[in-house]
Amino acid sequence: MASESKPSSDSGRYAARGVSASKSEVHAAVDRLDPGLYPRAFCKIVEDRLTGDPEQCVVTHSDGSGTKALLAYLWWKETGDAKVFRGIAQDSIVMNIDDLLCVGVTQGVILSSTINRNARAIPGEILAHLIQGTEEVLEMLREQGFGISSGGGETADVGDLTPTLTVDSTATAMLKRKDVVDAARVVPGLVIVGIASGGRCKYEVGENSGIGSNGLTSARHELLSKYYAEKYPETYDKSTPAELAYCGPYKLTDPLPGLSLTVGQALLSPTRTYAPYAIRLLKALGPAGVKGLVHCSGGGQTKCRRFGSQVHFIKDNLFPTPPIFAEIARVSGTDEKEMHQVYNMGHRLEVFLDPKDLPVALEIATSLGLEAKVIGRTEPSTLPSGANHVTVVKNGQTLSYA
C-alpha cells in the first residue's frame, strides 16, 4: 500500500517524483523573455513574420503525451494490444490544440509530430499505430469544424536517451489579431464556467475517466502495484524513492471503483478535446465576448492564477470529484490541496464570461453532451500586493493558493 504522508505543495509526493505542478523554475526563466504581442494571453503570440501582415499574428505551441506513453507501453506489454497507442497520439495532439483554443485558434493549424523511441523496445507496429492514430484524430477534428492538417514529423531512434518512447507534437497557426482571445480581459466580476473532463460526450466513442494528460507520473505510481516496478524497471526513474515507485494496490486490468472501466482503461482515457465546444462558443459570442479560456492542464485548479491581473479566483461549486481522482487520493493519502494543484479534479476547461452570456455557454455544452456549470467567480484580489490568487472551497475545506 502507499505511504500515508500528506504533503500540500510542490514539496509533496508529486515533487518527490521529480515533477513540478507549479513549474516555478520554468516560469522564472520564461518570464524574462519577450512576452509577445499579448503578454497575458494563454499562449505566446508573435508578429506575423511569414507574410508581414500587420493584421495577423502567429501562434506556435509544443506539448505531448508525457508519461502517459509509459502506461500505453505497460498495457501493450501485458496485453499485446498495440492499438492503445492511438489514444496516445490523441493525447499529444489535444494537449497542443486545446491550448491554442484558449487564444481563439480554430482554423489553419499545421501539426508536426515527434516520436523518440528506443528501437529495441518499440517496434514498427507501434509507430504505425501512432501515425494512423494521428491521422484519425486529425480527421475527427476536421469533422467537428476544427481546421488542422499534418505537416509531417520526425521519428528518432534514440535508445541512449529513452528506454521506451516519447510522443510530442508542435502546432502552428496564423490568426487575425481581431480574433485573439486575450486573457488580460479576465477581471473581477466574471462568472467561471467549468466544462467537465469526464463522462461521455457526443463526439467521444466511449466513457472518459477525465484524467487527461497531466499528473500521470503520480497517478501511475499511486495506483499501480510493485509488480510493474519489478517487471518493467525501464518505466521509471531509479532515483525515485522506493516507497513512491509503483506503490499502489492495482494491476491495469483491475476494475476501478466507481467506473465501468478498468484501472488501465481509466488511466489511458484519451484526453478529451474541447474544440467542438470552443468553436461554437466563439462563433456565438465572438472573441470579444469570451473574456478568457483556460485549459486546466499543468497546475490543475491553480492554472488560472497566471491570467488576468489583480484577480481573486473563487471556486466554490466544483464538480464532484471523479472516481479516478478520488481513488488516487484514497490509496495515496495525498491531501486535497495537492490533488487540486496536480489534477484537473473534474473540469479541464474554464470559460470566463460576463454573467449575461452564461445561458449561451451552458446551452452549447448541453448540445454536445458536455456537463457544464458555474464553478465560481472572479473578485478583486485581497492580497496586499494585489497579486492573483485562488481559493477552492470543497468538501468543507478551504484551499488557498497564492
Round to whole Å and give the CA distance between 279 and 146.
Answer: 7
Q: Which domains does the chain have, with CATH numbers?
A: 13-401 (3.90.650.10)
| 3-state SS assignment for residue 35 | coil
At 1 the pLDDT is: 31
Helix ranges, 188-274 (H):
216-223, 226-231, 263-267
Round to whole Å and give the CA distance between 175 and 54.
Answer: 11
Strand partners, 394: 397
At 33 the pLDDT is: 72
At 8 the pLDDT is: 38
Round to whole Å and give the CA distance between 283 and 315.
Answer: 27
For 340, the grid coordinates are 487540486
What is the DSSP secondary structure assignment for residue 96, as one 8-state letter? H
Mark the ranges of the chain whose per-residue pLDDT is less than 50.
1-9
In the chain, what is the straight-line distance between the N-terminal and C-terminal CA atoms, in Å? 33
**Is residue 348 within 8 Å of residue 319, measured between CB atoms?**
no
At 29 the pLDDT is: 60
**Is residue 283 within 8 Å of residue 367, measured between CB atoms?**
no
Helix ranges, 83-210 (H):
85-101, 124-143
For 365, the grid coordinates are 455544452
At 9 the pLDDT is: 43
- Predicted model pTM: 0.92
For 272, the grid coordinates are 478529451
Per-residue CA distances from 390 to 231, 263, 307, 361 (Å): 42, 31, 11, 23
Edge-to-edge order in the sheet of strand 56-64: 45-47, 56-64, 165-176, 109-117, 148-157
Interval 219-251: pLDDT, tens: 999 999 999 999 999 999 999 999 999 999 999
Q: How far is CA 359 from its chain centroid?
A: 26
Q: How many CA atoms lie within 13 A of 302 on its CB side?
A: 22
Residue 63: name the closest of 295, 303, 277 by CA: 295
**Is residue 217 within 8 Å of residue 323, measured between CB atoms?**
no
Cβ neighbours of residue 369 closer than 8 Å, sequence gap 6 or more: 200, 201, 202, 203
Compute φ and ψ for 181, nearest 5 degrees. -90, 110
